[in-house]
Structure 1
Amino acid sequence: MNIKRIKISVIIFLLAAVAVVHHLPIHGFLGTHILHRDLFFFPIVLAGLWFGLRTALVTAVAASIVYAHFFYHNISSGRISMAVVVLQVAGFNLMALLTGWMVDRQRRQEQERDFLNDTFGKYVSRTVRDEILGGRVTLSGELKEVTVLFADLRDFTRLVETTPPREVVTIINTYFKAMAEAINAHHGLVIQFIGDEIEAVFGAPVALENHQQYAVDAALDMRTRLSQVNLNLANQGFPTLRHGIGIHTGKVVAANIGSDHRLSYALVGETVNIASRIQSLNKDFDTDILISAAVRKGLDRSVAMQSLPPATVKGVGEPLQLFSIVAQPFVCVE
């Protein structure tokens, strides 16, 4: 017998036991006010604590019927007034409402925390969490201008083929942890890990001013943290890593997407596809951070970059103007 059935059995047993005591011929204050009134609160409170509002109300109704039935004859004989019975029945149901409501509220908060963990992963910022829990952000779908960042490890397939599985997991988890921390530190949100790739967004689900600048700053931070990761990996005898980052700004549909059994926060639109393809172009230009002209236009301070020849991207009609972020003082090189 599982725990739920045991709890239900306990509630039913208590109701039955109190009903029996309720009908015993006990006279005076003890019988009328203590045994016939206060004992009913035990199964009601337990039902609320264990199962929430609905079960608490059902238990309170059952207790009310038993209580009112017993006092029917007492009312007729004038020993107790109808007002006393009505007030006591109201007390049973009020207790059920209060207990059940508090338990249901606590459970909703726990479900919301689980939802955030499942949907946004471990690297959701406190700001994003508070906005969603506060009901100030919709997850049902909205068109937003955001900056999307993709990061992809280079030559990782060969690394997987030549490295024991346990070491591969250690390496990629070390990398993901450092990169996600960099993204979160600059108000970004990791949407998902796809194999050896990271998808992140700046400006959703919570609106963010200057999201282009935050995305570029995150990419620079990721570059720095990758150096630290490689130093740690080298000290452990693991091979070092290289990655490419692509950043693009545009409109996306941001929403919870999936089935009845599994939902995840996702971005849909051409902007996402272009950001992913810009990331891939790092291989062609032998660079590690590429941004589009739309990202450059939104920057609020100078960042060292190199203008590159227009690149043709699959699915985009006109060639894209791209810029490589270089490790130089903040001067734009045209």
Structure 2
Amino acid sequence: MLFSDIRDFTSVAERLSPEDLVALLNTFLTPMTQEVMSRAGYLDKYIGDAVMAVFGAPVARADHAERGLSTALAMHAALARLQPSLRQFGVEQLQIGVGINTGDMVVGNMGSADRFDYTVCGDAVNLASRLEGLTKTYGVFCLVGAGTRAAAPASYRFREVDLVRVKGKGQPAAIFELLAGPGGAVAEYAALDRWTAALAAFRAGEFSKARAEWLAFQAENPDDPVVRLHLARLAGLGDTAPPDWDGVAVFHHK
């Protein structure tokens, strides 16, 4: 499953007439849809400015995870090419977030006795949607679930970002930032070994070590919003982990 969404679209929409808003959406959605379909993805639906796409159905494909990841990279590149044409609408720049997850889903016709659609349903679908939403919180382009990370070819690079419990789920899920693949790069960081060490120390409740490693990482990557988020979280925790510490970030919003 792949979900994508335009960042701060409400503020963009309120500045445009209905006619210009529709023209902007059509201009944006056309290349995004083409990137999905050119990789044999099924465009499930548009949800306003959001795109919901399925890989591996209705035709089963063993490389469905790679197709989804490749689509995300292609969307990133297509948006960069599209930016100059958006100025006709008074929009200097659009940003999008992408969430991808791999897992078991029910696929088929769903709805009522009077009307139905071919779509997908299941916990793995819900997590993909939550991951897209969390790209706003973490300030990254694309977040993927552990299933997608495990199924990805070695040519794709990731950074583990956090362990989260999202709204509607009881079990925590590891989330990963998509960095690069054969289709291009969306993010690059120095000193990733320090990031890995900081994350391990944080989960072990070794807050002083985690803080030192993240500060060193931040010195090499001063514009990274994720390290700022983790350091702010540490500032509120102090130096000693609580007795029930599990390192999981809990989110109550979508």
TM-score, normalised to structure 2, is 0.69
- Any conservation in 2 of the 1:304–1:328 contact (CA below 8 Å)? no
Alignment partner, residue 122 of structure 2:
269
Structure 1: 5+ residue stretches without partners: 1-147
Alignment partner, residue 132 of structure 2:
279
Alignment partner, residue 43 of structure 2:
190
Q: In percent, how many aligned pairs have the same letter? A: 34
Alignment partner, residue 24 of structure 2:
171
Q: Report the Cα distance in structure 1 between the residues aligned to 2:75 and 2:44, rounded to whole angstroms.
A: 16
Q: Which has the larger radius of gyration?
A: 1
- Tell me the secondary structure at the aligned position of residue 101 of structure 2: strand
Q: Cα offset for 1:240? A: 2.2
Q: Report the Cα distance in structure 2 between the residues aligned to 1:162 and 1:234, rounded to whole angstroms.
A: 13
Alignment partner, residue 177 of structure 2:
324
Q: Report the Cα distance in structure 2 between the residues aligned to 1:260 and 1:174, rounded to whole angstroms.
A: 35
Q: Cα offset for 1:259? A: 3.6
Q: Deviations over 1:20-51 (max 9, x none)?
A: xxxxxxxxxxxxxxxxxxxxxxxxxxxxxxxx
- Tell me the secondary structure at the aligned position of residue 325 of structure 1: strand
- Any conservation in 1 of the 2:164–2:173 contact (CA below 8 Å)? yes
- Any conservation in 2 of the 1:244–1:280 contact (CA below 8 Å)? yes
Alignment partner, residue 203 of structure 1:
56
Q: Cα offset for 1:261? A: 4.2
1:162 aligns with 2:15: yes
Structure 1 pair 260–316 and aligned structure 2 pair: CA distance change class (3 A): closer
Letter in 1 for 2:15: T
2:4 aligned to 151, 154, 158, which one? 151
1:314 aligned to 153, 161, 167, which one? 167
Q: Report the Cα distance in structure 1 between the residues aligned to 2:49 and 2:74, rounded to whole angstroms.
A: 19
Q: Deviations over 1:258-285 (max 9, x none)?
A: 3454331111111111110011000111
Structure 1 pair 328–279 and aligned structure 2 pair: CA distance change class (3 A): closer
Between 1:214-223 and 1:159-168, the stretch displaced more is 159-168
- Any conservation in 2 of the 1:210–1:300 contact (CA below 8 Å)? no
- Any conservation in 2 of the 1:305–1:324 contact (CA below 8 Å)? yes
Aligned residue-pair number:
187
Q: Cα offset for 1:236? A: 5.9
1:240 aligns with 2:93: yes
Structure 1 pair 322–179 and aligned structure 2 pair: CA distance change class (3 A): same
Q: Which has the higher contact order (CA 8 A, sep 6+)?
A: 2
Structure 2: 5+ residue stretches without partners: 180-185, 197-254
CA RMSD of aligned residues (A): 2.2
Alignment partner, residue 213 of structure 1:
66
After superposing on structure 2, the runs of 4+ consecutive aligned residues of structure 1 that deviate more than 4 Å are none
- Tell me the secondary structure at the aligned position of residue 40 of structure 2: coil
| Higher strand proportion | 2
Q: Report the Cα distance in structure 2 between the residues aligned to 1:302 and 1:279, rounded to whole angstroms.
A: 23
Letter in 2 for 1:263: F
2:109 aligned to 252, 256, 279, which one? 256
Q: Report the Cα distance in structure 2 between the residues aligned to 1:303 and 1:216, rounded to whole angstroms.
A: 8
- Tell me the secondary structure at the aligned position of residue 164 of structure 2: coil
Alignment partner, residue 80 of structure 2:
227
- Any conservation in 1 of the 2:24–2:89 contact (CA below 8 Å)? no
Alignment partner, residue 180 of structure 1:
33
Structure 1 pair 283–236 and aligned structure 2 pair: CA distance change class (3 A): closer
